[in-house]
Amino acid sequence: MSAPRKRISVLRLGHRRERDKRITSHLGLTARAFGADEIILSGEEDSSALETWKSVTERFGGEFECRYESKPLSFLRRFSQDAGDGEPGEIVHLTMYGESWRESIKSIESDRPMVIVVGGTKVPGEVFRLANYNISIGNQPHSEVAALGVFLQSLIGQIDESKHFQGGEIQVVPSIDKKQVINLEEE
C-alpha cells in the first residue's frame, strides 16, 4: 500500500487585482476541484479572491485553505529547504517554456510537500532556478487555469468527490437532463 500523498499547494505568482481577478479566482477554484490542499495568493493583495475561495469551500465542502503571501520568493526559498517537516519541499513551476509534462510527471514523487507555481506577470528567473521541475503543459500560449487542471489531474488522478468534499452546505447531484442541487442544511 502506498503512503498517502503529501500536501499540495498552488502559488499564484504576481496577481494583479483588476487585470487578473477572474483568472485568479478560477485558478483557486480549479486547484480546489482537482484536489490541491491550498492556494497561496501573491502579488497585489486581494481579499475578494480569498473570500470567494473560502465561500465556495463552505458551501460545497471539503478542506481547502487559502492565504496571502507578501514575499513569494522568500517563501519558495524557505520551502525548498524546509517544507515544514524538516525536509525540503518540491517546487513545480508550470511554464510554457518547460519540459513536457507527459515525461516529467513520471518522475515526480508525492512523498514530499509540493508547491505548484503558476505565474501571472513576468516570472522572475529565480523561480526557474528554485523549481525542481519547470513543466510545460504545451509550448503554445494557453490559459494557466487549463494548465493547472491538466497537471493536477495527471498528478493526483480522479478524486472521489463524495469523500473529498464533505461538510458543505449544498451538493450538486450529477444529472443528464436537469440541474439538481441538494441543500444539506435542510436535511
CATH of the domain at 178: 3.40.1280.10
* The pLDDT of residue 180: 87
Q: How many Cα atoms within 13 Å fall on the side-chain side of residue 109? A: 6
Is residue 146, in this structure, part of any structural domain at all?
A: yes
- For the chain, the domain total comes to 1
Query: Which amino acid would we find at residue 88?
Result: P
**pLDDT (tens digit, 0 to 9) for every residue of the chain, 187 residues total?**
455 678 999 999 988 888 888 989 999 999 999 999 999 999 889 899 999 999 999 999 999 999 999 999 999 999 999 888 788 899 999 998 888 888 888 888 778 899 999 987 788 889 999 999 999 998 888 889 999 999 999 999 888 787 888 888 888 888 899 998 888 877 6
Helix (H) or strand (E) holding 97: strand 90-100
Q: What domain range is 157 assigned to?
A: 8-183
Contacts of 107 (CB under 8 A, 6+ apart): 133
Asked if residue 154 belongs to a domain, the reply is yes
DSSP code of residue 167 = S
Q: Are 31 and 148 in contact (CB under 8 A)?
A: yes
Is 37 within a domain? yes
Give domain status of residue 2, yes or no: no
The per-residue pLDDT for 60 is 92
- Placement of cell 473570500 in the chain: 51
132 in any annotated domain: yes
> What pLDDT is stored for residue 4 in this prediction?
64
3 is a domain residue: no
Has residue 138 been placed in a domain?
yes
| Residue 1 domain flag | no
